[in-house]
A = this chain, B = another copy of it.
Amino acid sequence: MKNLKRRILEAVSNDLEAIEKALTQNLEPYLSIVSHVAEYIIFGGGKRIRPLVMVLSARMCGYNGNNDKTLSIVFEYLHTATLLHDDLVDGAEVRRGNPVAHSIWGNPATVLVGDFLLARSINIAAQTGLMPIIDVISRATAQMSEGEIYQLLHRGDIALSEEQYMELIERKTAYLIQAACQTGALLACAHEDRVQAMAQYGNHLGYAFQLVDDLLDYTADAKVLGKAIGTDLKEGKLTLPLIYALNHAGSEDRSKMETIIGDDELKATEFNTIVDLVNKYDGIEYTRKLAKRHVNSAKEALHLFDNSNTRTILEDLADYVLTRQM
C-alpha cells in the first residue's frame, strides 16, 4: 500500500507542483481576507485528486497544450467553496486536524470567500470559451448545490434509504470528479466515446472516494484522519455503513441505534455501541465491497484506452482510494 502511494506521488509530482502554482496564482489575492481564508483551506492538506484526474484525463486523451493546469483548479476551487459552506452548515469544528475556517475568520468571511471561489471557478471555465466544458462545469455546480441541500433536508433522517444515500453522494461527490475527468477529455477534443469513458471512470472513482470517506468515519485512526471519528453521525449524516446496518438489524438492535441517532449529544460510549452494531450487521463489510466494485468499474472504463503510463496512474489512483487511511 505504501508502495502504491509512493508510486503515484512520484509519477505525478510535476503535475502536483504545477497545480499548486496555478492554485496560488489564480486567487489574485488583492483582497487580503480572500487570500487568508482561501489559502488556509486550499493549502490545508487537500489531496488535489480533482485537478489531478482532470490533468491526467486530458493527457491520456492526447492533450499537449498549456491550459490544463489552470482549468484543473476549477475543480479544487469548487470543492473548497463547498467545504467552506458545508463546514459552516454542519457546525463542524475540525478539518484535516485544523480548526475550521469559520471558527477563525467568522461566518461572514467564510460565506463570502466561498462565494468568491465559486465565482472565480465560473470565470475560469468561461474563459476557455469552450461551451461543452462550461456546460459540464455548470451542471456539476448545480448538482453539488442540490446535493448539499438534500443532505441538509435529510439530516438525522433514520428513514434515509440506500438508494437515497447513493443519489446524495452522487450529487455531493461523484458528479464533480466525473466533471473533472470529462473536462480533461473535452479539453483534449477527444471522441465522444472517450469522453463518456472518462466520465464513467470519474463517476465510479467519485462513488468509491465518498464510500471510503464514509467508512473511515467509522474505522479510521483519529490521529491519521485529522478529526475525531463519528463526526458524520454527530452532524446528523447517516452514511451507508449505518444505513445498511439499520436495514438489516433485528428490531431490538434497530431501536437501540435509532435512540442513539436521535440523541442530540452523541457520547463516546454510544458511538462505540453504534460501531459494534454496524459491524454486527456487516455495514462496514458491505460498504467496503461496494467501494471495491466501483473501483473495479472505474478501471474497466479505462479499457477503451491503450496501455500507457498515464492509464497506469489512473488505475493506481483508483486502487489507492480503497486503501487510503485519511
Rounded to whole angstroms, the CA-CA distance of A148 and B117 in the bound complex is 13
A112 to B129, CA, bound (A): 28
Given contacts A31-B150, A107-B107, A129-B131, contact A141 B112 (CB under 8 A): no
- Min CB distance, A41 to chain B, in Å? 15
Quick one: given A129-B131, A135-B126, are A149 and B111 in contact (CB under 8 Å)?
Answer: no
Measured between beta carbons, the chain B residues less than 8 angstroms from A152 are 33, 108-109, 112
Q: Are A138 and B113 in contact (CB under 8 A)?
A: no
How far does the alpha carbon of A125 sit from the alpha carbon of B139 in the complex, in Å? 11
Contact indicator B116/A115 (Cβ below 8 Å): no
A34 to B153, CA, bound (A): 10
Indicate if the CB atoms of A141 and B119 lie closer than 8 Å.
yes
Chain B residues near A89: list those with CB within 8 A: 107-108, 111-112
Contact residues on A (Cβ < 8 Å of other chain), bracket? 35 or more
Whether B116 and A145, one on each chain, are in contact in the complex, defined by CB atoms closer than 8 angstroms, is yes
Q: With an 8 A cutoff between CB atoms, is A134 at the interface? A: yes
A89 CB to closest chain B CB, in angstroms? 4
Q: How far is the CA of A305 from the CA of B40 in the complex (A)?
A: 51
CA separation between A145 and B84, bound complex, in Å?
Answer: 15
With A88-B111, A108-B89, A115-B85: A120-B149 Cβ-Cβ less than 8 Å: no
A144, closest chain B residue (CB): B119
Could you tell me the distance between the alpha carbons of A98 and B153 in the complex, rounded to whole angstroms?
24
> Do A119 and B131 form a contact, CB below 8 Å, given A88-B111, A109-B152, A126-B138?
no
Which residues of B sit under 8 angstroms from A34, Cβ to Cβ?
A: 149
Interface string of A96-126 (1 = CB under 8 A from B): 0000000000011101111110111011011
For the complex, what is the distance from the CA of A33 to the CA of B214, rounded to whole Å? 26
Binding site for B on A (CB under 8 A): 31-34, 85, 88-90, 107-109, 111-116, 118-120, 122-123, 125-126, 129, 131, 134-135, 138-139, 141-142, 144-146, 148-150, 152-153
9 new A-B contacts at CB < 8 Å, known A33-B152, A119-B145, A126-B139: A32-B153, A33-B149, A89-B108, A107-B107, A111-B111, A111-B114, A112-B152, A122-B122, A122-B142
A-B pairs with beta carbons under 8 Å apart, 19 shown = A31-B146, A31-B149, A31-B153, A34-B149, A109-B149, A111-B114, A114-B115, A115-B115, A116-B149, A118-B145, A119-B146, A122-B138, A122-B141, A123-B138, A123-B139, A125-B138, A126-B134, A126-B135, A126-B139
Going nearest first, the 4 A-B pairs with the smallest beta carbon separation are A89-B108, A126-B138, A119-B145, A119-B142
